[in-house]
Homo-oligomer: A and B are copies of this chain.
Amino acid sequence: MKLDNVTIIDVAREAGVSYSTVSRVVNNNQHVKAETREKVLNAMMRLGYVVNQQARSLAGGRSQVIGLLVPDVGNAYIGEIIRGIDEELAICQYELMLYTTRRRKTKESTFVTTIVRGMADGLLLVVPRVSVTYFETLNQQHFPYVLIDHQGIDNVTPSVAASNWQGAYDATSYLVGLGHRRIGFITGYMELGCAIDRLAGYRDALIDHHLDYDPELVYEGDFFQPDGFAGASKLLSLPRPPTAIFASNDVSAFGVMEAVRHYGLRIPEDISVVGFDNIPQASHVYPPLTTVQQPLEEMGRVATQILLKRIENPDLPGERIVLPTQLIIRESCQSPR
């Protein structure tokens, strides 16, 4: 399977130098005469030499791999983030190892250890809640990592997130500006920081606009479509139903839309609907969904940049970066009648 390949020794022989010189050329070491470098480069070309990362990494160098830990693939949310990561990685010749939490429910710490030990130079985590075991291992081993879209531990744990509070505040203000006075809210999974922040943004916007925060209008959801449906059904059957519903993410907003139609109401004529995330399909549903855009791709890109810097210098002070969200106005809202 693994055939005899071209090694630095072959290149060294071809170029007529020692193999440490070849190693120097490969690693862009300064102490090589331009002429020698040229010779080696030519030999590499002729022989079709490719470095063996395993060996390089074993011998103490970088593995040129970063690990990405996600709860699951298969949703647009993660896909967008990966796209950003991928772009950044392409620039600096790093590879991406994909880990899903789904398949390690049990031995989390062993798992992190595996990553930390040789496989990757750094780790990107897109997990809403990070088990303490992870951090213990990571910090203790002084291993570079960056949290993506995490509620944040503190201000020194490297993390990149979106301004969930501001996004929810803006969306709510927009609905108020349209004339809505009773605005329903479907929360996300409230164990998550982003869900808490979005609820706070909704609530604070209401208060700032001198509207009551009515708990009756808030339905505790879980970010999934069925709960959006259930929540909207409940809100719609209230004695004084809302004229607009703001769901904590697009997927549950789809559930809301379904429920609205189920009740024989129209969007936006009878009920305005707003989502959060701006996943691609938000613009493809009918009517196109007004939502809050999270800069997912950018989050991936920025997190990767930070991680790469931390790999170069693990002692860099950590920081939390909050990227701005943006209200994307489409056709799912209008003034109440």
Contact = CB atoms under 8 A, between A and B. Distances in A.
A322 B168 CA distance: 47
Interface in A89-146: 89-90, 95-100, 102-104, 110, 113-114, 117-119, 121, 141-144
A86 B57 contact: no
Given A50-B110, A284-B254, A314 B1 contact: yes
A71 to B, nearest CB: 11
Interface in A42-64: 48, 50-55, 57-58, 60, 63
A74 interface: yes
Q: Chain A interface: which size bin? A: 35 or more
A2 interface: yes
Copies of this chain, count: 2
Given A284-B285, A285-B284, A73 B82 contact: yes
Contacts of A270: none
A144 B73 CA distance: 25
A48 B112 CA distance: 12
Given A82-B73, A284-B285, A95 B95 contact: no
Interface string A56-89: 0110100101001000111110111011001101
Contacts of A68: 98
Contacts of A263: none
Interface of A: 1-3, 5, 48, 50-55, 57-58, 60, 63, 65, 68, 72-76, 78-80, 82-83, 86-87, 89-90, 95-100, 102-104, 110, 113-114, 117-119, 121, 141-144, 225, 254, 257, 261, 280-281, 284-286, 311, 314
14 contacts: A2-B60, A48-B113, A50-B114, A52-B118, A54-B63, A55-B58, A68-B98, A72-B83, A79-B79, A86-B100, A90-B103, A96-B97, A98-B98, A257-B286
